[in-house]
Every structure is written in structure tokens, then in C-alpha cells.
């Protein structure tokens, strides 16, 4: 039989084994209810089945989801796998970038916040001095610009310690607030990451106290790394902001808590959810939050220069449509369209007109509204040169002097 099999081609050998009934597959169970599946192949036949390019070490067989050897023994399972971040884990090692490890790093610093006559929400201790990063809408009415909270709030840590602390800063436009507590014993704190590194598909967790359930963690992915507020609420008061969109579950009480990456770093502050749909939740990127906190330290508030011009980022589709409507539209490939200028605004006094296309701002080429906001910063009262293109490719240089305004739009 073995001599005959050696003369057959490889596929024929397997058929021959099946026909000869020389390979036995059976299953049995021991008294402790453990099942075992075994393939038994006589040694002469197993040697005859060896393919020309294989060695005699080729005796590892697979049957469905089971793995076993030709001598009836079951090899140890392959424990090599990936962690939540997709990083390969060597056999015998435990993954490090997991949801559990991320929560273990940030969880002790996540606090439950109670405000009398207001409600309950979440926050994160971000330094050993007891600075707590949270949301503003748990403290004040976001529709009332300039509103602030004067009283103290009640803070509960994961380890059960309770504190009272004042609200130090509130910024209604960004929905960010800072609370301060003092402790004679060491406080846990979370590490701030960078939201600029966030990509769609990244694994993240949200931590907070939904429905008073403290230290609750939910997991998901980043659905969009920079969702523009104009996409969420066109023409609304949150006009020029970007959010991290995630499908992590947000519920009442999650607001103000951290959005965390697999390294246990805070990459956002959980703020918004869409009530009419599941899995549409939004966090303020931590890079933006850091700039807000820098202004808190520098100015005691966030200084927002006002230009009084509405801005729309151009792309190939929009440019093509505008040229179809008006052949005299400037010949540009990128830029920022000004569709409207507020009467009496710094933009109108500078000479902006509806239909202008901004190509440079303060000597820098610009293609996005975000770039303009970053260039202007908090430069209230400082003249800024702006290059615009108009119909028939006319190029004009304007000088605009931003004014401070509590109104969030440009």
C-alpha cells in the first residue's frame, strides 16, 4: 500500500487514503466530560503522504477549528494574537494596549461631579494640583454667553474621597470648564495625549458616570477625527469648531468625562450626543482644549477676535459649481469663500465683499477656516494683511483689525 501511494500524485494520495480507510478519525470523552478528537494514520502511510517539498516534520493537521498531530497528540494552542490596537503580541506575552489597561491608567483620575440645582456629570483630574477638566454645560446655560457659576461643586473620586471646589474658568463657546480641588494626600491624574494623531478607526474608550453609575467605561472607535460643527448644525452658534466623532456610548452623566486612546491618554472631552441616532457622539479634541486652558492662564478667559465675515472652504466641486453660475468667478483651485459680510463689522470696514476668495492671511497661504482661526489667535486690535481674489481674477490686499466679541462666529 505504501509503495503504491508513493507513485501517485499528491491529490491522488489523499483520495487513496480515504478509499483505503487507512486513516481513522474518532472522538471520545473521558469521565470529566472533556472531548478529544484524534486522527490516527499508520506510520508507513503518513510517510508516503509527505509532499515532495515537505519534510517529515509536516505532521500538523487541521480539522475544522481543531488542530492535532498524526500521532494523536494535540499541540499547544497558538496564543499569538493582536491587542485592541492591532499590535502583534508574541506567544506567552500579555497585550499592553488593551481597553482594560487604558482604563486602569485613566480611571482613578475620572471624577463624579455634583452641582446643587444643576445636575451631575463627569470630569478628569489632569495634574497633581487638583485641576479638573470638565464641560461647561453642567454648570451654566450655554445660550447665555458670559454666564458663570459662582458656587462650589461636589467632587467624588473613584477611591471614594469627596471634595468641594470652586469653578475657576468657564468658556461657554467651547463648552469647557475648569474646577479646582485641594488635597493633603496625593491625587491621581490623567496624562493628556494629542488629538492631532487621532485617525478614523482608532480604538478608544469613554469614561464617566452615566445615570450616576460611577467609573463606567464604554468602548468604540473614532468615527471621524475632525467633524466640523457646520456639518452637524449648519449656521448654528458652534460654527467654526471641530470634534472627534466616536461610537462610544454616551449617556446623561458622561458629559465632561475623557475620551481615551489605547495608551491611556486623554484625547478629548466628551460633550455631545445625537439623540435621534445611536453611535453619533462627539468630543472636544484635547489639542483645542489645551489652547483654551492656555488662554485661561494668560487672559483669565478665552479671547476670541471677531472679523464679521462668514467663511466657506472651497473644493473642486464647489469651485466648479460657482464657475458654472458665474464665468467671472476667480480662477482658483483652493481658498476660502466669503459669502457674507456683517454690516458695521471689522470685515466690512476692511473692505471685504461677498464673493471674495481669501488666499493669504497675515502672509500665510490659507485653505481652511481652521488655519485662519489659528493665525488670528487672540490678536485683538492688531492689523492683519489679507489677500483676496475677486471676479476676473482681480487681486486685492485688505487690512483687517479684529475686535473682541463674545459672539463665537467669525
Q: Is it the case that residue 206 has pLDDT exceeding 70?
A: yes
In a 3-state reduction of DSSP, which class is residue 76?
coil
What is the rounded average pLDDT of the residues 324-352? 94
Task: Specify which residues 272 forms β-bridges with.
Answer: 282
Question: Which regions of 30-71 does DSSP assign to beta strands (E)?
Answer: 35-40, 60-63, 66-69
What is the rounded average pLDDT of the residues 198-217? 92
In a 3-state reduction of DSSP, which class is residue 45?
helix
* Under 8 Å between Cβ of 256 and 189: no
Residues of the chain with CATH 2.30.42.10: 305-404
Residues 64-118 pLDDT 10s: 444 444 455 545 544 444 555 555 655 556 667 899 999 999 999 999 999 988 8
What is the rounded average pLDDT of the residues 389-395? 93
Least confident range from 56-65, 128-137, 141-150, 160-169: namely 56-65
What is the rounded average pLDDT of the residues 15-39? 46
Catalytic residues: 137, 175, 255
Q: Is it the case that residue 372 has pLDDT exceeding 90?
A: yes
Q: What is the CATH number of domain 194-298?
A: 2.40.10.10
Confidence bin at 144 (pLDDT 50/70/90): low
Q: What is the mean pLDDT of the chain?
A: 81
* Under 8 Å between Cβ of 330 and 338: no
Confidence bin at 212 (pLDDT 50/70/90): confident
Q: From CA 47, how far away is CA 311, in angstroms rounded?
A: 76
- CA distance to 212, 348, 367, 372, 373, per residue, from 361 (Å): 48, 16, 10, 7, 10
**pLDDT, position 97:** 85
**pLDDT, position 51:** 41
Confidence bin at 23 (pLDDT 50/70/90): very low
How would CATH label the architecture of 305-404? Roll (2.30)
**pLDDT, position 83:** 54
* Under 8 Å between Cβ of 306 and 341: no
**pLDDT, position 13:** 45
**pLDDT, position 16:** 43
Least confident range from 198-207, 235-244, 328-337: namely 235-244
How would CATH label the architecture of 106-180? Beta Barrel (2.40)
Residues of the chain with CATH 2.40.10.10: 106-180, 194-298
Q: What is the DSSP letter of 130?
A: -
Q: From CA 240, how far away is CA 371, in angstroms rounded?
A: 11
Residues 28-49 pLDDT 10s: 444 544 445 444 445 444 444 4
Residues 287-311 pLDDT 10s: 999 999 999 999 898 988 999 999 9
Amino acid at each position: 500500500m505504501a509503495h503504491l501511494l508513493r507513485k501517485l500524485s499528491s491529490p491522488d494520495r489523499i483520495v487513496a487514503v480515504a478509499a483505503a480507510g487507512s486513516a481513522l478519525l474518532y472522538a471520545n470523552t473521558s469521565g470529566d466530560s472533556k472531548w478529544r478528537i484524534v486522527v490516527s494514520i499508520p506510520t508507513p502511510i503518513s510517510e508516503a503522504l509527505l509532499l515532495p517539498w515537505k519534510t517529515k516534520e509536516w505532521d500538523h493537521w487541521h480539522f475544522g477549528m481543531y488542530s492535532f498531530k498524526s500521532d494523536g497528540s494535540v499541540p499547544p494552542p497558538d496564543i499569538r494574537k493582536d491587542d485592541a490596537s492591532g499590535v502583534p503580541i508574541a506567544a506567552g506575552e500579555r497585550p499592553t494596549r488593551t481597553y482594560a489597561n487604558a482604563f486602569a491608567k485613566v480611571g482613578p483620575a475620572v471624577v463624579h461631579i455634583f452641582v446643587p440645582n444643576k445636575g451631575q456629570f463627569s470630569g478628569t483630574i489632569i495634574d497633581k494640583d487638583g485641576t479638573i477638566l470638565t464641560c461647561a454645560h453642567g454648570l451654566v446655560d450655554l445660550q447665555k454667553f458670559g454666564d458663570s457659576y459662582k458656587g462650589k461643586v461636589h467632587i467624588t473620586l473613584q477611591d471614594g474621597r469627596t471634595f468641594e471646589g470652586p469653578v475657576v474658568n468657564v468658556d461657554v463657546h467651547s463648552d469647557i470648564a475648569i474646577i479646582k480641588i485641594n488635597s493633603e494626600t496625593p491625587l491621581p491624574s490623567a496624562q493628556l495625549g494629542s488629538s492631532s494623531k487621532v485617525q478614523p478607526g482608532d480604538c478608544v474608550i469613554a469614561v464617566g458616570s452615566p445615570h450616576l453609575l460611577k467609573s463606567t467605561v464604554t468602548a468604540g472607535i473614532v468615527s471621524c477625527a475632525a467633524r466640523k460643527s457646520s456639518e452637524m448644525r449648519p449656521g448654528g452658534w458652534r460654527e467654526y469648531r471641530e470634534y472627534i466623532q466616536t461610537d462610544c456610548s454616551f449617556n446623561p452623566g458622561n458629559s465632561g468625562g475623557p475620551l481615551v486612546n489605547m495608551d491611556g491618554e486623554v484625547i478629548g472631552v466628551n460633550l455631545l450626543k445625537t439623540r435621534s441616532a445611536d453611535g453619533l457622539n462627539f468630543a472636544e479634541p484635547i489639542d483645542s482644549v489645551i489652547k483654551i486652558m492656555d488662554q485661561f492662564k494668560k487672559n483669565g478667559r478665552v479671547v476670541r477676535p471677531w472679523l464679521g465675515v462668514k467663511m466657506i472652504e472651497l473644493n473642486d466641486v464647489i469651485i466648479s459649481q460657482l464657475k458654472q453660475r458665474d464665468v467671472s468667478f476667480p480662477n482658483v483651485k483652493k481658498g476660502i469663500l466669503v459669502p457674507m459680510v456683517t454690516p458695521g463689522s471689522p470685515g466690512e470696514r476692511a473692505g471685504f465683499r461677498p464673493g471674495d476668495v481669501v488666499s493669504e492671511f497675515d502672509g500665510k497661504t490659507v485653505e481652511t477656516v481652521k488655519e485662519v482661526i489659528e493665525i488670528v489667535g487672540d490678536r485683538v486690535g492688531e492689523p492683519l494683511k489679507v489677500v483676496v481674489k475677486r471676479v476676473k481674477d482681480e487681486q486685492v490686499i485688505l487690512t483687517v483689525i479684529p475686535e473682541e466679541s463674545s459672539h463665537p462666529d467669525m
